[in-house]
Amino acid sequence: MPPVRPDKTTRPGRGALQALLLAATAAGAVSAGTVQAQETTGLRGALTAADTNSGLLAGEDARPAEAAPAYVPVSPGALPEEDAPRPPRIFAADPALPGEAEAQPQSPVAAAASRAAAAAEIDQTPTGTVRQPTVDSLESESLDRGAQRAQAIEGLDRPIEENPYEAPGITFGTFILKPSIEQGVTATSNADSSTDGSEAVLSETTLRLNAVSDWSRHSATVDAFGTFRKTLSGQEVDDFEGGVDAVLDLELAHEYRARGTFTYSAAPESAASPVVIANTVEEPITQRVGGTLGLQKDMGKARFGITGGAIHDSYGDADLEGGGTLSQSDRDATLYTMTLRAGYEISPALTPFVETEIGRNQYDQEVDSAGYQRSSDRYAVRGGLELDLGEKFSGEVAAGWVREDFDDDRLDALSTPTVDGLLRWSPERGTDVTLSGSTILEGTTTAGESGSVLYSSRIGIERQIRSNLTGGALLGVAYRNYSQSDGYDVIFDAEASLTWWLNRYAGVVTRVEHETVTSNLSDRDAKTNSIFLGLKLQR
């Protein structure tokens, strides 16, 4: 089928348009009549619609033949004269220089392009017209450190030391050593702390040494002391007391930790001892040496540990007033122990635990001088809590039961509840509080008796009153219960001390001590009051 072409629209010719326009003009002339273009005479005059239409059709110029007269205001001077020069406008463009053509107006697009081209051609090289910095501003610029002005030594800012009177120590290999010596005079009411002691003035010298390792992974500490006393006036005394404590901590692989300890002490046997020998020239020397070795393993929050230890006690011979000596070798014994511990960390600060202990107290002599076999087996079980709140509060406390069965059936077993612990508390910076408690089974060679149980506790406070003044106080109480008898001892001791540091190397020390032993047994009561004043040197 052939495509259908749209009908062509016939456009009217130019003659038809002129005919229609003439008809419309004629109708307007009949209805409107004459239209006055302007009433004011002297302008173009009266115009009719026919004149206007005929002029438009003919293409004539619609402008009047004569120009309208210029407007003249009623008040002369209201407008400036045409010949008067106009003041220059502040925003007008600068006039062209002689010989230059006046700039022709440009379209906005062309003007923008011209400005962009001019900006691209600007020379960025600084010239002498650029403002130079002031001389003072050069001080803020970085200079060679070697060319900087050095500050006077007196004006250097020194860091504030937390404890300016602490001993600086001596570097010895990988250890920091802090030795000290204390020399002074002691006035006492009981020179040897015995039941029949008398007053005396003593020269007292104490040497101390603290050593701490400077290792990155493991750690070791050593504390040693020795005290010499000799009479200046009064009851004759010439004795020595000393001891060493060492701890070694090793961090092993796979969450294993090892700890080893060593201890040694030597001192005259005091009136607080469970065994008292009457009519002696001086108190015999007792010595203790021992150590422990333990291994700990962490498995998640579970804690497991095993520790083995051995402690040997030996007692020196006693010199009698009437002459001769009394041997105490039948009191020498070694205690072997093995302890198993298991705990669970319920929080980083709290770890409850249980532990069991088995041991053997083996006397050097199988049978003592009275014919008794003193060796025994020991069993103990405890439950406790470890606390670790950082420097604020730390330590552990445990309670349980201990029993000791002797090889000799004639001796009753020692069995008692136990309370042991060591807590450290720092209520504020510069104040340290220590609370300790222990339960100890003590042997004896008294015929028919198994021994005694000593319960003791002590609290100590150390306070830094000022940066150069340190104070301390100790308060202790102990209760001893003798088995197979109604005998008991109550031991009370207290101490207060002050140290005034002259500088970090020297200080004045004073101490006041009191000790009382009260017992329902004969020849056991004793009381001692002492005061010490001396000078302490440290490095």
What residue spans define the domains of the chain? 177-538
Structural contact between residues 459 and 447, judged by C-beta atoms closer than 8 angstroms = no
pLDDT confidence of residue 277: 77
Q: Which of 339, 326, 329, 361 is closest to 443 using CA atoms?
A: 361
Residue 219 in tokens: 């750690």
The widest CA-to-CA distance across the chain, in whole angstroms, is 174
Q: Which of 422, 416, 487 is closest to 448 using CA atoms?
A: 487
Residue 464: which H helix or E strand, with range? strand 452-466
Distance CA 377, CA 140 (A): 82
Tell me the pLDDT tens digit for each residue of 370-385.
Answer: 889 999 999 999 999 9
Greater pLDDT, 92 or 336: 336
CB count, 10 Å around CB of 127? 6
Partners of 183 in the beta sheet? 205, 535
The answer for 228, left when phi > 0, alpha when psi is -120 to 50, beta otherwise, is beta
How many residues are present in the chain?
539
Structural contact between residues 536 and 506, judged by C-beta atoms closer than 8 angstroms = yes
Distance CA 46, CA 54 (A): 15
pLDDT confidence of residue 452: 93
Mean pLDDT of 136-155: 61
Residue 21 banded pLDDT, cuts 50, 70, 90: low
Structural contact between residues 480 and 488, judged by C-beta atoms closer than 8 angstroms = yes
SS in 3 state form for 15-41? HHHHHHHHHHHHHHHHHHCCECCCCCC
Residue with tokens 């009260």: 518
Q: Please work out, in degrees rounded to the nearest 5, the angle formed at the alpha carbon of residue 490 by the alpha carbons of 489 and 493.
A: 135
Tell me the pLDDT tens digit for each residue of 185-229.
Answer: 999 999 888 888 889 999 999 999 999 999 989 999 999 999 999
Greater pLDDT, 35 or 180: 180
When mean pLDDT is compared across 52-61, 75-84, 157-166, 337-346, the lowest value belongs to 52-61
pLDDT confidence of residue 30: 43
Q: Which of 312, 240, 234, 324 is closest to 283 using CA atoms?
A: 240
Q: For the domain 177-538, what is the CATH code?
A: 2.40.170
Q: Percent of the chain scored above 70 by pLDDT?
A: 72
Highest mean pLDDT (candidates 116-125, 275-284, 287-296): 287-296
**SS3 state at 278:** coil
pLDDT confidence of residue 29: 45
> Could you give phi then psi for residue 76, rounded to 5 degrees?
-70, 145
What is the 8-class DSSP label of residue 417?
Answer: E
Question: What are the CA-CA distances from residue 415 to residues 274, 287, 402, 481, 485 (Å)?
Answer: 18, 26, 6, 12, 14
H-helix segments, 212-261: none
Distance CA 87, CA 425 (A): 94
Tell me the pLDDT tens digit for each residue of 224-257.
Answer: 999 999 999 999 999 999 999 999 999 998 889 9
Residue 5 banded pLDDT, cuts 50, 70, 90: very low
When mean pLDDT is compared across 65-74, 182-191, 336-345, 418-427, the lowest value belongs to 65-74
What is the 8-class DSSP label of residue 412?
Answer: P
Residue 346 banded pLDDT, cuts 50, 70, 90: very high
pLDDT at 136 over 70: no
Structural contact between residues 467 and 165, judged by C-beta atoms closer than 8 angstroms = yes
Packing angle, helices 49-58 and 14-32, rounded to 10: 160
pLDDT confidence of residue 461: 96
Residue 485 banded pLDDT, cuts 50, 70, 90: confident
Mean pLDDT of 399-428: 94
Q: What is the mean pLDDT of the chain?
A: 81
pLDDT at 515 over 70: yes
pLDDT at 103 over 80: no
Partners of 72 in the beta sheet? none
pLDDT confidence of residue 6: 43
